[in-house]
């Protein structure tokens, strides 16, 4: 039995999780969102969208209107899974996982990045850079004077996936695919059969970054178990503190899943900080829906000099 509850603190939940009400797209799964973001007075989410009869994913843009989220039909469509968005160097860095399929199986995958000064200029046909083949969960953070890069290598000492970190000075360095293999391992209390990946990163101060990630394992039946994990990472000394499990599937109402294998899956997208200083966590549920959960700021307790 996985003893995740004993190894990590529990994040404080302020309300029971809810599901987003999303405009009905017939025979589509809509899940694994980006962090929410605001342009002007409007709130948006990039979401992973799939035909229920296919594995082929698209990333599409949705806008909040009242208590619902509706498809922005005129927005460009990206052939990506699991989108993310970062505001970097007064521009927008958007990305996701590009997958090539062959006979129903993954031929290869890689993380694609798109970078423009204006949101409207993002072009699905013009990626800015891409990560190494078969590497997911690459995330970028603006450090004001530098750029932080979280990577997720696999194999050997990295097992099914571990989080590494490095820094660079220029966004153009992302065009060098080799840079993503230069990260230093962040040590987390993980079992060999578990894997982790970064989902979003938040600049806290000159030393500390708030990391939103997922921790996962596969049981003997082949069923997957994903939880949302947060921690504070000191980029100067590589120390980690305040490890917390902030969301599990049972924190949300029951609902459909892609299959029994995905029933216990929460895949975090990102946070929105509320006016009262708490956080709304947006995440995919069971590879089928999107949920939101209000929690206490998981990065609040830390010593900035540690």
- Give residue 304's pLDDT: 62
Residues 6+ apart with CB under 8 A from 300: none
Q: What is the pLDDT of residue 96?
A: 98
Q: Is 53 a residue whose pLDDT tops 80?
A: yes
User: What is the model's pLDDT at position 238?
Assistant: 98
Give one DSSP letter per residue of 180-248, joined into a string.
Answer: GG-PEEPP----TT-EEEEEEEEE-SSSEEEEEEEEEEE-TTS-EEEEEEEEEEETTT--EEEEEEEE-
Q: Using pLDDT thresholds of 50, 70 and 90, give the confidence band for residue 195.
A: very high
Mean pLDDT of the chain: 94
Strands 224-234 and 264-273, by their bridges, are parallel
User: What is the pLDDT, as a whole number, of residue 6?
Assistant: 79
pLDDT at 99: 96
Average pLDDT over residues 94-111: 93
Q: What is the tens place of the pLDDT at every residue in 208-234?
A: 999 999 999 999 999 999 999 999 999
pLDDT-derived band at 23 (thresholds 50, 70, 90) equals: confident
Average pLDDT of span 20-39: 92
Give percent above pLDDT 70 in the chain: 98
The DSSP element (H or E) to which 273 belongs, if any, is: strand 264-273
Please determine, for residue 62, whether its predicted confidence score (pLDDT) is greater than 80.
yes
pLDDT reported for residue 90: 86
More reliable by pLDDT, 251 or 24: 251
pLDDT number for residue 302: 62
Q: Which of 2-16, 70-84, 275-289 has the lowest mean pLDDT?
A: 2-16
Where are the strands (E) in 75-207, listed by range? 81-88, 91-102, 105-116, 129-130, 139-142, 147-151, 164-168, 184-185, 195-203
Q: Which two tokens stand for residue 165?
A: 């970190």
1 has a pLDDT exceeding 60: no
How does pLDDT run across 155-189, given as a tens digit for each residue? 999 999 999 999 999 999 999 999 999 999 999 99
Name the CATH superfamily, with its identifier, for domain 4-295.
Glycosyl hydrolase domain; family 43 (2.115.10.20)
Furthest CA-CA distance within the chain: 53
> In which band, very low, low, confident or very high, does the pLDDT at 305 lie, cut at 50, 70 and 90?
low
- Residue 17 clears pLDDT 70, i.e. is over it: yes
Q: What's the pLDDT at 303?
A: 60
pLDDT at 89: 83
Q: How far apart are CA 301 and CA 290, in angstroms?
A: 28
pTM of this structure:
0.96
Across residues 286-300, what is the average pLDDT?
A: 96
Taking a C-beta distance cutoff of 8 angstroms, is the pair 208, 202 a contact? Answer: no
Phi and psi dihedrals of 173, rounded to 5?
Answer: -65, -20
Mean pLDDT of 141-154: 96
């Amino acid at each position: 039995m996985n003893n995740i509850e004993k190894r990590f603190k529990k994040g404080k939940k302020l309300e029971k999780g809810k599901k987003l009400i999303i405009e009905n797209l017939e025979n589509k799964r809509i899940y694994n969102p980006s962090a929410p973001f605001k342009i002007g007075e409007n709130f948006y989410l990039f979401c992973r969208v799939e035909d229920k009869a296919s594995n082929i994913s698209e990333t599409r843009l949705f806008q909040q209107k009242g208590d619902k989220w509706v498809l922005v039909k005129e927005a460009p469509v990206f052939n990506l899974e699991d989108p993310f968005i970062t505001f970097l160097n007064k521009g927008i860095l958007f990305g996701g996982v590009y997958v090539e399929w062959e006979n129903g199986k993954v031929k290869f995958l890689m993380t694609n990045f798109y970078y423009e000064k204006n949101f409207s200029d993002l072009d699905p046909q013009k990626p800015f850079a891409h990560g190494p083949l078969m590497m997911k969960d690459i995330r970028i953070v603006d450090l004001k004077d530098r750029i932080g890069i979280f990577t997720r290598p696999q194999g050997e000492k990295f097992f099914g996936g571990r989080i590494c970190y490095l820094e660079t000075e220029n966004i153009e360095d992302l065009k060098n695919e080799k840079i993503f293999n230069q990260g230093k391992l962040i040590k987390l209390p993980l079992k060999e059969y578990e894997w982790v990946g970064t989902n979003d990163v938040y600049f806290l101060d000159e030393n500390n970054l708030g990391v939103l990630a997922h921790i996962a394992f596969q049981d003997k039946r082949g069923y997957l178990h994903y939880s949302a994990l947060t921690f504070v990472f000191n980029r100067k000394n590589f120390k980690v503190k305040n490890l917390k499990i902030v969301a599990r599937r049972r924190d949300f109402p029951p609902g459909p899943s892609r299959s029994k294998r995905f029933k216990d899956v929460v895949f975090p997208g990102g946070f929105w900080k509320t006016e009262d200083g708490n956080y709304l966590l947006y995440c995919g549920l069971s590879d089928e829906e999107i949920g939101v959960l209000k929690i206490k700021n998981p990065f609040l307790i830390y010593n900035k000099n540690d």
